[in-house]
């Protein structure tokens, strides 16, 4: 999924760096401590991986266990707070973590027939009250860890279901495509987590694509902070704009792609920045299809994730979603046309389709909030889809012949 030295953290590095500029001494100290602790954990993970190799997943029918770190940072010394068969905890953070783990597990089981994060019943361990005023939550490849936030800028990280689903989806990605955590594949990794973080929240609330807020981490900021969320899938670049954090830097199309060095300081090539581009594509596809995201765009994206590989780029993934939309809903279907239009809107035209043919303006909204294709577009989409299917089949046959030789 990512470089072994990296943790998948919900709060991007550039926001923590902004907190270091706060006039509040306590806020600056909390941000510094968070960054130092995160760096230490990355180092420990790298060492563990170099000696032990890939970590084996613990199976257990997706059983949940939540532990209380009591503001310590050594997970092995955490106390049991709630188990699958035990009573509700007196600690609300433990209960929120427990419920979030369960909702995400149940979503993948009921919607995609996936048995926990790894598809084989991986147990779900969560740790709350990690460290002191820790401004983050992360998935480390084996468990989910939540900080309490500093209480002034950032709140308890268990409060956002989409944050929990986002982090656990990093685990799903690890066990499917294994998207490498840098540059475009890393930004796609982040986007997949945002996509299903939002979809899980919508599924839990039974919201349609029109009713959803399409915000990631809306409950992360404390009430006094002038910000909507960490990110907006509907409007990347518009989640916040204030004196401390500045304006949300996420781009929403390829012409605004942000080129950063593939280093920790460069956010591994801007993975938390450029994820806004595929995020916007998913939003456009979901709204173009209409109804519930977990019935339309969600399955298309999930099947495309399973068909992807470690170095999949934006263009590769866009082409795959177009193909999967045709397989799931039919060549030339309204759903496939919506996917085509969505990617073209963020300036990633599907290979083989003339640029501009299927932009959103060429789609008409029907009475149910979905789309109906124009006849000319439908015929072209069908032809391109058939050609794409033939090319995929031919590639598989060639690969089989090479193996046989």
Which of the residues are catalytic?
A: 167, 272
Q: ∠ CA 360-162-205 to the nearest 5 degrees?
A: 80
Can you say how many angstroms the Cα of residue 393 is from the centroid of all Cα atoms in its chain?
Answer: 30
CA distances from 349 to 39, 254, 344 (A): 39, 11, 5
Lookup result for tokens 């995160």: 38
Reading the block at residue 137, the tokens are: 């939550």
- Euclidean distance between CA atoms 384 and 191, whole angstroms: 26
To the nearest 10 degrees (0 to 180), the angle between helices 183-205 and 314-329 is 40
Task: Provide CB contacts within 8 A for 215, sequence distance 6+.
Answer: 162, 198, 228, 229, 231, 232, 233, 234, 239
- Euclidean distance between CA atoms 322 and 328, whole angstroms: 10
């Amino acid at each position: 999924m990512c470089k072994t030295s990296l943790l998948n953290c919900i709060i991007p590095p550039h926001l923590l760096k902004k907190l270091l500029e706060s006039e509040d001494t306590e806020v600056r100290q909390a941000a510094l401590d968070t960054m130092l602790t995160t760096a230490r954990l990355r180092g420990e993970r790298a060492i563990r991986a170099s000696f032990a190799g890939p970590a084996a997943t613990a199976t257990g029918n997706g059983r949940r266990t939540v532990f209380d770190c009591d503001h310590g940072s050594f997970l092995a010394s955490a106390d049991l707070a709630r188990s699958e068969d035990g009573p509700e905890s007196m600690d609300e953070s433990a209960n929120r973590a427990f419920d979030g783990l369960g909702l995400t597990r149940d979503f993948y089981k009921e919607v995609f027939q996936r048995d926990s994060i790894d598809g084989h019943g991986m147990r779900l361990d969560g740790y709350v009250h990690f460290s002191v005023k820790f401004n983050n939550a992360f998935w480390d490849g084996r468990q989910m860890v939540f900080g309490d936030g500093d209480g002034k800028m950032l709140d308890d990280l268990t409060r956002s279901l989409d944050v929990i689903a986002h982090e656990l989806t990093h685990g799903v990605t690890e066990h499917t495509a294994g998207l490498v955590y840098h540059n475009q594949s890393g930004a796609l990794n982040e986007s997949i987590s945002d996509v299903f973080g939002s979809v899980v929240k919508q599924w839990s609330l039974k919201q349609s694509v029109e009713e959803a807020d399409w915000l990631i981490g809306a409950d992360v900021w404390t009430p006094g902070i002038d910000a909507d969320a960490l990110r907006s899938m509907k409007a990347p670049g518009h989640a916040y704009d204030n004196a401390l954090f500045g304006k949300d830097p996420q781009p929403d199309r390829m012409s605004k792609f942000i080129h950063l060095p593939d280093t920790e300081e460069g956010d591994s090539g801007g993975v938390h920045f450029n994820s806004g581009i595929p995020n916007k594509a998913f939003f456009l596809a979901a709204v173009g299809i209409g109804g519930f995201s977990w019935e339309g765009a969600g399955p298309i994206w999930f099947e495309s994730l399973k068909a992807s590989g470690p170095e999949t780029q934006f263009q590769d993934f866009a082409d795959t979603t177009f193909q999967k939309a045709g397989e799931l809903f039919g060549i030339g279907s309204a759903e496939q046309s919506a996917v085509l239009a969505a990617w073209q809107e963020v300036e990633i035209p599907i290979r083989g389709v003339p640029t501009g043919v299927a932009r959103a303006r060429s789609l008409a909204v029907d009475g149910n909030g979905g789309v109906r294709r124009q006849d000319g577009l439908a015929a072209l989409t069908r032809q391109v889809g058939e050609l794409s299917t033939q090319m995929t089949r031919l590639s598989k046959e060639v690969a089989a012949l090479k193996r046989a030789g």
